[in-house]
Amino acid sequence: MTKRSIVPGEIEGFLSGCPFCTSHRIGIPDVGTRFRIISGFRAGDAGTVVNWPTTIEPLQHEFMAQIDSDPPNVQTRIILRKDLIEKLPSKPVPKWVPPLSMDDASKLDKAILYFCQKSFQNDKWKTDMGSFYEIIRVIWYFRLPIDSKELWSVLKAHGVPNQTKKIIIEFYEQGSNLVIYCLNKKFRKKKRIEALTE
C-alpha cells in the first residue's frame, strides 16, 4: 500500500467496492501483473507491469508498463498518485455505481471524496454545502446522466450519513435548477451507458 492518509469517504468507498477508492490503496504491482487504467484520457487501456529500466533511477509511487495497444518497444510510466488503476481481472461492478464511463465516474468520485473530507472534521459529520457545489459543478460540466436518487446511492456508498439524505437531495435538485436558470440553458445529459465502460 502506498503511504497515504485515509481520506474520509475513501475507506467506506473501498468497503463498498468502489474501484477508485480501491485504487488509492494499491501499492506498486509486481512485474507481470495485469491491470487497466480507470481514470484520465487512457481510461480503459489495459496493460502489464514490466521491469523498470536499469538506466533510470526508480521513482516512488511509479512503475513501468506495457500497454496492450502500444507498440512492443513503447513502455509507459504509471504514476499512482495521478493514474488510478485496477488489477485484472476486474471485480463485479457494484449495483450502486451509476451509468457512467470510467473517466466520468472517476471525476465524480474525486468530487465526492472532497465533499466527505470537508464534511467530516474532528470525528464529526457536518455537511459542508460549499464543497457540495463541486459535485453539482462536475455533474453539470461533464453532463453526467445521473439523477438525485443515483447520486445518493454513490454518496451513501462513500459513508455519507443517512440523516443527510433529504437535505442533500433537495440541495442538489435546487442547485441544478439554479444553474439551469442562471445559464438559461437546459441541462443536456450524455447518453446513459453501462456502468464503468470505456
CA distance 146 to 98: 7
Strand order in the sheet with 85-87: 76-79, 62-67, 46-50, 34-37, 85-87
pLDDT at 4: 44
Structural domains in the chain, sorted by start: 10-87 (2.30.30.30), 102-183 (no CATH)
pLDDT at 192: 78
Bridge-partner residues for 171, per DSSP? none
Strand, helix or coil for residue 120: strand
pTM: 0.87
CA distance 12 to 157: 7
Bridge-partner residues for 197, per DSSP? 101
CA distance 21 to 78: 17
Contact status, residue 127 vs residue 164, Cβ threshold 8 Å? yes
Q: What is the pLDDT along the chain (198 residues), one digit of tens a residue?
A: 344 446 789 999 999 999 999 998 888 999 999 999 999 999 999 999 999 999 989 888 899 999 999 999 999 999 988 899 999 999 999 999 999 999 999 999 999 999 999 999 888 999 999 999 999 999 988 989 999 999 999 999 999 999 999 999 998 888 888 877 887 776 667 777 888 886
Q: Which residues contact 16 (CB under 8 A, 6 or more apart)?
A: 94, 96, 157, 158
